Structure 1
Amino acid sequence: MRFLLRFISVMFLVVAVITGVVDAIQTVAADTLELTVLGEAWYSFSPESLNATQAAVQRYVHPLVWDPVIQWVLVQPAVAVFLALSLIFYLLGYKRPKPAGRFAA
């Protein structure tokens, strides 16, 4: 299970690095700060899945989950969201080191 969580963490980290590089290239090209918003990136990648996700969350979870919570996430920079997801999955898959010391077994 830990391997799967760490693997997902690495995949989110790879996506975060890719979106960060794309944002850096766009920033240099435009001479202004350009950050890709997660919702815009998702809509340009697959608008059908975004609409299906919205319908599913509003129908099966609760409409209030979509409107204030997920919409707030969708207006954040994609690199920040993917870095946060990578950190969350890394922490879930983290194995604490065994305590070393005089009385350690």
Structure 2
Amino acid sequence: MNRTKGIFSLALSAALVGGALVSAIYPSTAIAQSVIESQVDGEFEGWAGETVVKLMNGQIWIQTEYYYHYHYAYMPDVLIYQSGGGWKMKVEGIDKAVRVEQLR
């Protein structure tokens, strides 16, 4: 393989998305921009329509897709990824990933 100055290094990214294991190879810079892993900062009580979620990394996200599902968890893991021109959040313990928008 010919290595040139402008080629990204590749990294293997595997993420549990909507109950299916999705693996893909991304340029290393794209991983940082298209997948965010963190934890909820405190209690999470599920999705209620316009749920605001504060993460341990300081980001704040709001639910933009209507979905109601009660699920109590303390500091669950969160995976946020780009999907269809927006973002989806997958919270540990809930099968469905929900469309979200970043507030901060």
TM-score by length of 2: 0.25
Q: Which has the higher helix share?
A: 1
Q: Which structure: larger Rg?
A: 1
Of structures 1 and 2, the one with the larger relative CO (CA 8 A, separation 6+) is 1
Q: Which has the higher strand share?
A: 2
TM-score by length of 1: 0.25
